[in-house]
A and B are shown apart, each in its own frame.
Chain A
Amino acid sequence: MISMISIKNVSKWYGDFQVLKLCNTEIAKGEVVVVCGPSGSGKSTLIKCVNGLETFEVGEIVVDGISVGTRKTNLPKLRSKVGMVFQHFELFPHLKVIQNLTIAQRKVLRRGSKEAKEKALSLLETVGLAAHAGKFPAELSGGQQQRVAIARALAMDPIAMLFDEPTSALDPEMIKEVLDVMVKLAEAGMTMMVVTHEMGFAREVADRVLFMDEGEIVEDQPKADFFKSPATERAQQFLSKILSHGAQA
């Protein structure tokens, strides 16, 4: 097993409040790990620590052999290798769809503009949105914007992808189109860490499921085991609440 993302004993405080408590886990190359849990459990914070968007006080995070959070770390370089998809899409509104995909390729990876454009168009093709390349993000629906956001992250040829509640801000009828893209990505062998409530997605493509509560990783199990019988009571309660509201395929 080649470790892609390694999180060791990570703790983080916001002032006096401890938001992450000794989190430990490893994600291997090609693994798809789903992180779930109630709001405020720290899952978004944890995933943002992986690419250095959030800092942490104690512990160590290593991504593809590079330690995140030391003073010497070249964060921009690391971030260019790890893709991130946000809950609110965060496409750049002043740039057209195709420019959203090419800007980082050109400015960060220093690709030529022709090469960047070709890559962008081919990725837009993959997510089914090539026809919208010349539009501005505001002209697209939420589901379309999120698919573009995924393509934007993929344009950097990342070694791993982080998803921070990618479907939480979408209207129900658009969730499927985004999950379909994510499933295809998983099946193609991408290393993925996904914070989500979508248990159907987890059941379909996750290798492992992490359950977080109040800053701790309470459960860390292979998918089948997690869904059959979660070890802790907190996880059981959470799962029953989620599943009873039809939040799955």
Chain B
Amino acid sequence: MYEFDWSSIPGALPFLWAGMLRTLQITGVAIIVGLVLGTVIAILRLSKNWLLSAIATCYVTGFRSIPLVMVLLWFYLLVPQLIRRLIGRSDVDIRLFSAFVAFSLFEASYYAEIIRAGIQSVSRGQVHAALALGMTGGQAMRLVILPQAFRRMIPLLLTQAIILFQDTSLVYVIGLAEFFGVAYNTGNRDGTLVELLLFAGAVYFILSFGASMVVRVLQAKAAP
């Protein structure tokens, strides 16, 4: 029987907490940028201008057909060069910044699909009513369609955010240490990998499950 040794966990808690903050930081940035960019792409996909629509479709299809691991590797390759070219500084935390960029752009493609479905689920009658009152297309989108689309899509957007929260663990592949990375490194170093991995698993489970319960409550409230 394996002999569990939990002793290295208490000492590592400050570092694990710092790692969790990093996880939440990446998640937060990706959600915000992803939502904004995702909305733009969703609207472009529905645009009558075929070129804009095609570009948006390529974006979405492109990001959704390759593994997140590859996306992270790609941006870890590209971002440093781009930063050097644009800003000329190389003291920025490259790994973190490329993680921000990679996750934001990746998440945007998933959000774009959810938001597109949401926009399309608003009935044409609503669009007509808005236009009939003299609103421009832009006003109709901003004042009537998007508010309704987002209300409907909130459970799906939140669920996607929970998935993103879990996916941040993959920055392991570019050597960035967030919560999971810290847990692994600590366990590896102290020879207590088993305990740390179980601990990390438990923490993720509690946080994700808790968050998904909140989403379920919100869903029940919105559609009684």
Residues of A within 8 A of B (CB): 48, 51, 53, 75-84, 86, 88, 90-94, 103-104, 107-109, 149, 152-153, 156
Contacts of A80 in B (CB 8 A): 133-134
Residues of B within 8 A of A (CB): 123, 125-126, 128-136, 139, 143-144, 147-148, 151
Closest to A90 in B: B129
Distance in angstroms from B142 CB to nearest chain A CB is 9
Q: Are B133 and A104 in contact (CB under 8 A)?
A: yes
Q: Are A76 and B148 in contact (CB under 8 A)?
A: no
Distance in angstroms from A151 CB to nearest chain B CB is 12
Which listed residue (B132, B135, B144, B147) contacts A51, Cβ 8 A?
A: B132
Distance in angstroms from B173 CB to nearest chain A CB is 42
Distance in angstroms from B88 CB to nearest chain A CB is 44
Q: Are B134 and A156 in contact (CB under 8 A)?
A: yes
Contacts of B139 in A (CB 8 A): 76, 107-108
In the complex, what distance in Å separates the CA atom of A163 from the CA atom of B171?
Answer: 59
Q: Are A103 and B126 in contact (CB under 8 A)?
A: no
Q: Which 10 interchain pairs have the tightest Cβ spacing?
A: A80-B134, A90-B129, A104-B133, A84-B132, A108-B134, A79-B134, A90-B125, A94-B147, A76-B134, A76-B136
Q: Are B144 and A92 in contact (CB under 8 A)?
A: yes
Q: Are A53 and B133 in contact (CB under 8 A)?
A: no
B131, B132, B147 interface centre (most CB from chain A within 10 Å)? B132
A81, A103, A104, A152 interface centre (most CB from chain B within 10 Å)? A104
A-B contacts, 15 listed (Cβ < 8 Å):
A53-B128, A76-B134, A76-B135, A76-B139, A79-B133, A79-B134, A80-B133, A84-B128, A90-B125, A90-B129, A91-B129, A92-B148, A103-B143, A108-B133, A109-B134
Contacts of B129 in A (CB 8 A): 84, 86, 90-92, 149
Contacts of B130 in A (CB 8 A): 92
State whether A53 and B125 are in contact (beta carbons under 8 Å apart), knowing that A92-B144, A107-B139 are contacts in the complex. Answer: no
In the complex, what distance in Å separates the CA atom of A77 from the CA atom of B143?
Answer: 17
